[in-house]
Each structure stands twice: as structure tokens, then as C-alpha cells.
Amino acid sequence: MFAGEGGPARTNKRFHYLSQNDTAKRLSTAFDSVTLYGEDPDTRPDIFGKVGEAGVSIATVEDMELLFKGFDLTSPQTSVSMTINGPAPIILAFFMNAAARQKLSADQLNDMSKMVEVMRQVRGTVQADILKEDQAQNTCIFSTDFALKMMGDIQQYFVEKEVRNYYSVSISGYHIAEAGANPITQTAFTLANGFTFVEYYLARGMNIDDFAPNLSFFFSNGMDPEYAVLGRVARRIWAVAMRKRYGASERSQKLKYHIQTSGRSLHAQEVDFNDIRTTLQALLAFYDNCNSLHTNAYDEAVTTPTEESVRRAMAIQLILTREFGMMKNENPQQGAFIVDELTDLMEEAVLAEFEAISSRGGVLGAMERQYQRSKIQDESILYEMQKHSGEIPIVGVNTYLPKDGAANVPIKLDLIRSSEDEKQTQLKHLAEFQTVHKNDADEAMNRLREVALANGNVFEELMNAVRHCSLGQITHLLYEVGGQYRRSM
């Protein structure tokens, strides 16, 4: 149930609407671009207009509390995913503190052992994949070395405190695909990034079986035939590498992944047809045994989904799982010639791409040469050329057009936007928070600076700092210590 719009109160209302008929509350959070880039809401023209647009605005731990008001964050029935990368350690510290505030008194919040007890009960995932941000999505804010260090700090903290129900990273191919990569490139780059995290965590002295079960993956499903076997190819390669190279346990060999239907397959022309594409992509995901699924709303080519379009998107999953007879049979495609043959061919192609990455110095070496970005851009241009030429047929867009010959773009469609009041409310709440915590914030930021300069565990100190400091305050402090992101040219 993916949502995020306006301020935390509005998104909280949408979460309750989406989950009202389900015992299990599976919440996935979209953040606005201001939050994604680690900034506070501000009157600056380049910030103010983006507050609460296409995602929720979160600047303080109090915002995070309001976002999940009415949900028991420690319940086994509640799981929260957060789509955030650059400032992920700060947002995760907000979230863990919000969960603790639901269960602990003010005095108990100062007892770290009590805090850890709460953290062990919280379930979900924070995306925090900084490698694919450089390669595809572009919300890097800290230098790559420092961003990796903070990812390692989170995982180290989770290992030492035995926090096992919350996953510290979602290794993401979805954004690689959305930027233009084909399914083979998406799979290869995503797995290669995953192995890079494994090598980095091992280099920090962590044991493979202490962190590998807490790695999760996130892929896109489009219309190409390779999407029918993407999951089984990824699982085969991951399991073999985990077993033979790293000597990992059976649980560590099991690749868990989430599927989201393809956003770039949605079109403004003949917008109602998008549900048909999404249904087919969802069926492929179920047949390939994904662990979880997110179906896009048909109007996402134009706007943030409305309640009506979200209900239709959820109905796709419900009709497939509750009504469609073949879904009663687990893995119905197993043994089919096309599935087995395509699995072998795609695995071979992914392994060949691994060789190409290795020849350029591995994932980080290839990133320095802009290899991944260049390959994604080449594949994106090819797709767009084939779409415009009609070589790739898209019904209602470049073929089978209406009688007048022009694709039908809806004349009236509800556009979901953050209101002026919501933007001003966020500014007001931020100012009130910073005023109340002014004296404590200075001390907290000084401690955070000292820990970061001493190469200590930044996330551990963030758990204290976020009680008194806003997102933007912490981000700009960490720029001074770890450096700001600059793309290699």
C-alpha cells in the first residue's frame, strides 16, 4: 500500500483508507523531493513549491509520529517500507524513535536497552540503496564513500543489537528499469550492487549469516518476456554465489524480492488501458513467486493516484489472488519449456554482464567511468526510438489509435497536489520544533560531529540526534564531515 502526499496527516489518512479492511497493515511510504534530498521545508522558491508534492513531507521525528498515528508499529501485523535513499539513515532514526515513542515513557526513551527492545519488534524495510542512486535515480546527497559508511553503520548496529525484523537495505532494480534499462541489465546491475554490499559488509568484519538474511531486493516488471523469469534467475544466481563463494547458510541463500509493476509502461494516452498492462505484469510477478507486490494506479502517468484509481489498483491484486483459479496452484509455470529455456538464456546474459562490470573494476570502478549510466541511457534511447517508430507496438499510443487518428488523452482527470495550507503547516511545525529544541539541538549536533569525525557509528548517534534536530540540520552537518555528492565526470 504505497502512499505519500501533502503533509503527514494527509498521508496518514490515506494509509488508513488503504488498509481499513485488512488485518495486516503493509505500508509503503513515498517522500517528496525535498525530503529525498535531505532538506527542510523552506520558503525558498526552489523548495517551497515541492513541499508535499508526489510524496509526503517529513522533516522531524514529530512528523514521523503523525505519519503513522493509529498504527501499532511494533505489531507483527504491521510492516513499514520507506522509499528513501540519500538521507535514509536520518529518516530511519526518525522512524525507530517514532516507534519507541508509541511504547515508552519519556524517561524510558533515555534507556537505550528499552529502545533496542522496541526496535527488535519493528518490521519493514528502508531502501537506502546508494549505488543505484548514482546509476539511475539521482537522489545521492552525500559522497559515495560516506554514504556507504553510513549504510554499513546501520547494518553493524542491527547486527550488534540483534535487530532482525527490519531490513537495512532494499537493493533496487526498479529505478534502473524506470531509467530505461532492459530486464537483463536491470537484473545484472541489481545483483552486482547486492554483491558489492556483501563484500563491503564482510570487509567491515561482519559475518555473512548475520546480515545476508536481512538483505531484500526490489525489481520492476514490464511487458518483455524476460520479466516472466526475472525472479527465478535472480534467485538462482544469488543462491549459487552465497553457497559457493561465501559459504552462507540456507537462509542466507534465499533471495527475497518485491515487485512493482512498471511505471514507464503507463501512458497518458488511452489511460484506461494502463490497468490491463498492470494486470498482466502482476500476474507474471505472482507466477514467478515474488514475496510482495505493488500494482500501479492507471492515472500515475499524469498525477498522484486518487482514491478511486488506488482502489482499482488494489482490486487487480485481490481479483488475481482471490478469484483467479490458476493462482490456487503455486508455481503453475514450472516445467514449461519456454520458462526453463528463457531462464537459462537470461542467466547466461546476466553472467556475461557481470564479466563486463568486472573488467571495469567492479561496480564502483564502473561507476567512476559512468558505465552503468551510459548503458542505461543507451537502452532508454533505443526503447524510445522503437516506441516512436512503432517497432514496439503500444496499443492506443502508436497503433490501433481511435478513429480520428489521435491518441485519446483524458480531458478531465483529478490532479492531486499539495495545498498552500499544507505547505505552510509544515513550515510552522518545523519552526515550532526547532524553537523548542534550540538549546538541545546545538549539543546534539556537536556530539554527532564528534562521532562522525572519530569514525564512530553515525547511526547510533543519529538515534539520539533526531530527538532534537531536523532533517535539514543533520544533513548539512554531515555534509561538513562526510562530503557532498559530486558526480564523476
Nearest to 221 by CA among 271, 273, 270, 277: 277
Asked if residue 286 lies in contact with residue 320, where contact means CB atoms within 8 angstroms, the answer is: yes
pLDDT in tens, the chain (489 residues): 677 889 999 999 999 988 888 888 999 999 999 999 999 999 999 999 999 998 999 999 999 999 999 999 999 999 999 999 999 999 999 999 999 999 999 999 999 999 999 999 999 999 999 999 999 988 999 999 999 999 999 999 999 999 999 999 999 999 999 999 999 999 999 999 999 999 999 999 999 999 999 999 999 999 999 999 999 999 999 999 999 999 999 999 999 999 999 999 999 999 999 999 999 999 999 999 999 999 999 999 888 888 899 999 999 999 999 999 999 988 899 899 999 999 999 999 999 999 999 999 999 999 999 999 999 999 999 999 999 999 999 999 999 998 876 666 665 777 778 899 999 999 999 999 999 999 999 999 999 999 999 999 999 999 999 999 999 999 999 999 999 998 876
Asked if residue 84 lies in contact with residue 59, where contact means CB atoms within 8 angstroms, the answer is: no
Q: Give the model's pLDDT for residue 44.
A: 95
CA-only gyration radius of the chain, Å = 22
Q: State the DSSP code for 297.
A: P
Q: Give the model's pLDDT for residue 397.
A: 93
Cβ contacts of 380-386, under 8 Å, gap ≥ 24 = 380/179, 380/180, 380/181, 381/180, 383/180, 383/182, 384/180
Residue 352 CB burial class (10 angstroms; 0-12, 13-18, ≥19): exposed
Q: E-strand spans in 34-77?
A: none
Nearest to 277 by CA among 222, 225, 224: 222
Nearest to 468 by CA among 29, 199, 81, 94: 94
162 CB-side CA count, 13 A: 2
- The end-to-end CA distance of the chain, in Å, is 38
